[in-house]
Amino acid sequence: MAACALWSCTPDEPTTEQTPETIRSEEEMLRNTLVADTRKELKKWFRFYHLDEHADTLFRLREVWEVSLLTAPVSGNWQELYKEHPKLFKPSPDKTTVLDIYTYERVFDEKRRGKIEVSADSPDSEVAIVDTAKGEKTRLMFCGTPCQFHDAWWRTPNEVIVVGLVQETGEEYYPALWYINLTTDTIRQYTATQVAEPKKDKNYLVDEVFDEL
């Protein structure tokens, strides 16, 4: 009895060994879940690039890297832009921060009826979380010409998913999904295996985002 007081009397439980097969299976399950969830949230983007029917099989894990968080003050006119055009930003589930994937080095001008247009653009793009009360942004991703960030959503308060395009070979762009985990400080990039084919050579940012504001 003394032995039972000091040591467990139950049989040893089998341990699950992480084999390459189980790791691959878990990764596939994560990918399928992320793509399926994002397809429900960002239907317009998937339809724009004709990814509806085969989305679950098109995306492959391309790269995994750690996030290097960089916090800095927002630009001088950011608060004004946020106040006048809140649809440019994605509020976090607790409403304490917003996700900003559109305003980095872009100049927006007013059009008629309160609409806006981009009067100056940049080849660089940024994904940032902004604390609106403090006026500070924390950069999650930054990319030059090879990347375009089109849309995004909060999966949880600690998970962000961004969709857009990446330039893989030559001048061809491929649809991509970035999964940002703020708990583990990691980013997973999933890239489609087919070239981006937009509707009638339209531009998603111009025709589906900025023109709709």
Per-residue model confidence (pLDDT) at position 113: 59
Instruction: Give the whole-angstrom CA distance, residue 160 versus residue 191.
Output: 16
Locate 152 and state its tokens.
């995004």
- Residue 35 and residue 163: Cα distance in Å, rounded? 10
User: What local confidence, expressed as pLDDT, does residue 45 receive?
Assistant: 96
In tens, the pLDDT along 94-103 reads 999 999 999 9
Contact 40, 105 (CB under 8 A): no
Could you tell me which residues are beta bridge partners of residue 59? 192
pLDDT of residue 19: 79
- As a whole number of Å, the CA-based R_g of the chain is 21
The confidence score (pLDDT) of residue 119 equals 63
Picking from 108, 110, 133, the residue whose alpha carbon sits closest to that of residue 121 is 108
Six-digit token pair at 151? 């849309």
In the predicted model, residues of the chain with pLDDT beneath 50 are 1-10
pLDDT at position 6? 34
pLDDT attached to residue 179: 99
64-85 pLDDT tens trace: 999 988 899 998 889 998 998 8
